[in-house]
Chains A and B, each alone.
Chain A
Amino acid sequence: MFQVRGLVKSYGPLRAVDGVSFEVRKGELYGLLGPNGAGKTTTMSMLSGLLAPDEGTILFDGADLAVHPLEIKAQLGVVPQEPALYDNLTARENLSFWAGLYRLEGKRLRGAVDRALEQVGLTDRAGDPVKHYSGGMKRRLNLALGLVHSPRAVLMDEPTVGIDPQARLNILEAVRQVARSGTTVIYTTHYLEEVEQLCDRIGIMDHGRILAEGTLDELIRRVGGRETVTVRGAFDAEAVRARLAALPGVQSAASENGRVVLSVESGGSAVDLLGRVLAEGLPLEGISIQPPSLNTLFLNLTGRELRD
């Protein structure tokens, strides 16, 4: 459905998106995972037609977005990171307006509004002005506004940022429902667990590039079955990294934020390494072992953890 080829976008000397290419198939839930500043939102802005790329093309069902912007935008739904709502209108009035923008009228419009309210669980509060909503309710309405016209594809840009766990679960469940209905979804986030739970395929993004792409299993296999041992303590991390890198079984070692992160082969190597690290007599504050994960992959690809 989406074919993205060689997207480039620069702001002055900063190359925010640097040659991004990927494909999203019809009905697929595609996740773009990356830290803040990776270029996810800029990529989404270009996909939604708000920003013209400096280079590259975006095809939607074979049609070029640069050539047919209005026709393609009419088939897309957009869910921005921050709720974009009219606070002094009710949820129903907000939905009716946005549905109207997508050419829905009369009975079709009213039906679409009712369905969208039902979908995000706001039917009983539909007549309340949005300014009286909680943050979570606003997020749900924000999602509903992107779905009310039953788009063929929805672009969701970090829709769960800054909300409480319960509201987040509600949003994720609504996203699952959208995907189950056959709508194509491109979902950006910097939460590993969200892409692990939701997405059919994942693109890992950093510094404006897609570093790896595939299903969750494919990506974890790329880690090569390695486990991660993280060592914290009151020590000079760089000096300790050099000492620990020389220990048997250590594939790679990195120091960051006062910690030393070691990559080891899975299958008992991490436990063996634990004993050797303790034998070094370092002033330790903590050691943890992580099984192979997307975070491990991100660490291997970038030399830093995703949460940083």
Chain B
Amino acid sequence: MRLLLLLVAKDLRRKLRSPLGLIGALAFPVVFAGMIALAFGKDGGVPKVRMLVVDEDGSLLASGLASAFGSRQAASVFAGRTVSEAEGRELMENGKADALLTIPRGFGRDVLEARPVALRLVRNPSEGILPEIAEQTVGALADILDGGRRLLDRPMQTLRPLLDDRAAAPADADVAAVSLAFKRAIEGASKLVLPPAITLESDLFATSAGGSPSGGRASAKPSGSSLSAIFLAVFPGVAVYGLFMVADQGMRDVMTERTLGTLRRQLAGPVRAEAVIAAKAAYTAIVAAGALIVLALVVVAFVRASVSVPGFALLSSALVVAVTGTTSMVYGLARTEREASTLGNMLFVAMGFLGGGFIRIEGLPAAVRHVAPVTPLYWGVQGYRALLESGASVAGVARPAAILAAMGVAFLAVGMAALRRAARTGASA
């Protein structure tokens, strides 16, 4: 034990003297998640499409279309505003709008009379993706309008004379007939369109992830702004990925010492190769555990999320075993530092993508989602998401923790055997 402590203390002292790599690995998840949150979470949410509408028509239908961008449903995406053409042009030129939609004169009449009609959209090319969103949305609106007009063609024909300014006030019987016609048309179509076959669900912050382990308390989601919510949505994935990078640095030290000649020198002393490798694994585990604590403090300090501490401790312990085991296997199987670096980078990046480190697992293709559970990174990400998003307790993270620990122990057994052989070979080289 004294020897183990001596070896680990030496490695920790060396790491503290040259901490740049460790700081980089720790900063990566914070910076990555922070940048994503800042990009999409400013002003309390996703940046809105600044949409200008020039209503040249002024009809009821045109007004309805113009006001659609200011509706409650559209408010989360659009900042809609009706302007004159001159004002619209000026705002576009000054970069104060993402898109300008012009509803042409005669639009309402042409729609009612089933004549072809074109909406005109001018996009601001300097505003990135937001004008594209405007274009797609207006396109969808045009399709809806077109479909609605075709569906309600007959009752509209009945309605049209009644909307004529010069017409006398409609009789009660006319209004009843038009209402009945609209009702029949909608009832006829409803068999085809209801219930909706395709729905869009967002589970970004409030819902439990599909397949994610959960249990325990009702919710531990942060009460802060959407900036912190987006940060927390991204952070578990990149944090677990970052932890693999931290562990990679720890185990890489076996190769570094081999190159320095200090491994050979240690083995020329009264030290077994097993002790040197066990100490390196212990050092890696300590650094990984320290990194996890730092990352947890970041979450607590800046995002104010509260999670089950026993659940966090259980999952983190299992993850430390898993990352130590995985990296020991990588460095045990590689013959040179360069080979280990290439193998490690490939494996960790692949795990990052497959296991939901960079993209939430729900956003990945079905085939990838089936493969994801073979990676320890997946279970780490799912476990932390359950803690952060669903308020999972110890019971809620028991499954991912058990799987992580089992993977870690298996990988560690392979890695230690391979590293012991590599240490002896390296020492005699």
Contacts and interface: CB of A to CB of B under 8 A. Distances in A.
Contacts of B14: 86, 88-89
Contacts of B261: 80, 82-84
B184 interface: no
B260 A73 contact: no
Contacts of A103: 270
A50 B271 contact: no
Q: 3 closest Cβ contacts across the A-B interface? A: A84-B261, A74-B270, A88-B17
A45 interface: yes
Interface in B246-300: 260-262, 264-272
Interface in A84-127: 84-89, 93, 97-98, 100-103
Contact of A51 (B10, B18, B270, B428): B428
Interface string A36-52: 00000000010011110
Contacts of A136: none
A78 B270 contact: no
A80 B270 contact: no
B271 A101 contact: yes
Given A50-B427, A70-B270, A129-B17, A84 B10 contact: no
B260 A86 contact: yes
A102 B266 CA distance: 10
B3 interface: yes
A103 B6 CA distance: 10
B17 A97 contact: no
B166 interface: no
Contacts of B268: 48-50, 73, 76, 78
A51 B270 CA distance: 14
B72 interface: no
A71 B269 CA distance: 10
B6 A50 contact: no
24 contacts: A49-B268, A50-B427, A51-B428, A70-B272, A71-B270, A74-B269, A78-B265, A83-B261, A84-B261, A84-B264, A86-B10, A86-B14, A86-B260, A86-B262, A88-B14, A88-B17, A89-B13, A93-B13, A97-B10, A98-B265, A100-B6, A101-B3, A101-B271, A102-B270
B270 A145 contact: no
Contacts of A84: 260-262, 264-265
Contacts of B13: 89, 93
Given A45-B428, A74-B270, A89 B17 contact: yes
Contacts of A45: 428
Given A73-B270, A86-B260, A101 B17 contact: no
A129 B18 CA distance: 12
Interface residues of B, number: 21
A145 B6 CA distance: 16
Contact of B262 (A51, A76, A85, A93): A85
A58 B166 CA distance: 120
B10 A80 contact: no
A51 B184 CA distance: 93
A48 B269 CA distance: 8
Contacts of B269: 73-74, 78, 98, 101-102
Interface of A: 45, 48-51, 70-71, 73-74, 76, 78, 80, 82-89, 93, 97-98, 100-103, 129, 145
Contacts of B266: 101
Interface in B1-47: 3, 6, 10, 13-14, 17-18
A49 B272 CA distance: 11
Contacts of A83: 261
B260 A101 contact: no
A80 B264 contact: yes
A73 B10 CA distance: 21
Contacts of A93: 13
Contacts of B264: 50, 80, 84
Contacts of A70: 270-272
Nearest to B11: A86
Contacts of A97: 6, 10
B287 to A, nearest CB: 16
Nearest to A75: B270
A97 B262 CA distance: 11
A50 B262 contact: no
A258 B3 CA distance: 57
A89 B260 CA distance: 13
B133 to A, nearest CB: 52
B428 A50 contact: yes
Contacts of A51: 428
Contacts of B272: 70
Nearest to A48: B268
A84 B264 CA distance: 9
Nearest to A71: B270
Contacts of A145: 265
Most buried by A among B13, B261, B270, B271: B270
Nearest to A74: B270
A84 B259 CA distance: 9
Contacts of B271: 70, 101
Most buried by B among A88, A98, A101: A101
Most buried by B among A50, A51, A73, A82: A50
Nearest to B265: A84
Given A70-B270, A101-B271, 19 more contacts: A45-B428, A49-B268, A50-B268, A70-B272, A71-B270, A74-B269, A76-B268, A80-B264, A84-B265, A86-B10, A86-B262, A88-B14, A88-B18, A89-B13, A89-B17, A97-B6, A98-B269, A102-B270, A145-B265
A144 to B, nearest CB: 13
A73 B275 CA distance: 15
A85 B265 CA distance: 9
B269 to A, nearest CB: 5
A89 B9 CA distance: 12
